[in-house]
Amino acid sequence: MPELPEVETTARGIRPHLEGRRIVRLIVREPRLRRPIPPEMPERLAGQPIHSLRRRGKYLLIELAHGSLLVHLGMSGSLRLVAPESAPRMHDHLDLSLSDGGLLRFHDPRRFGIFLWIPQAPETALVQHPLLCRLGPEPLGEHFDGEYLYRASRVRRITVKSFIMDAAVVVGVGNIYANESLFLAGIHPACACNQIDPAGYDRLAETIRLVLGAAIEQGGTTLRDFVNESGAPGYFAQSLRVYGRAGEPCRVCGTPIQQQRIGQRSSFYCPRCQTLVTADSHPR
Residue list, annotated binding site: 91, 110, 156
Contact between 168 and 132 (Cβ < 8 Å): no
161 is catalytic: no
Q: Which of 2, 5, 122, 189 is catalytic?
A: 2
Binding-site residues for DNA, in ranges, read 91, 110, 156
Query: What separation in angstroms does the CA of 203 have from each of 81, 129, 240?
Result: 38, 33, 19
Identify the CA nearest to 204 among candidates 169, 237, 234, 239. 169
DSSP 111-166: ---EEEEESS-HHHHHHHSTTTTT----TTSTT-SHHHHHHHHTT--SBHHHHHT-
Q: Which of 21, 44, 111, 265 is catalytic?
A: 265
189 is catalytic: no
Q: Which of 58, 80, 161, 203 is catalytic?
A: 58
Query: What separation in angstroms does the CA of 75 have from each of 110, 256, 260?
Result: 7, 30, 22
Question: For residue 118, what are the β-bridge partners?
Answer: 68
DSSP 13-73: HHHHHHTT-BEEEEEES---SSSPPPTTHHHHHTTPBEEEEEEETTEEEEEESSSEEEEE-
Q: Which of 3, 63, 180, 229 is catalytic?
A: 3
2 is catalytic: yes
Q: Which residues are catalytic?
A: 2-3, 58, 265
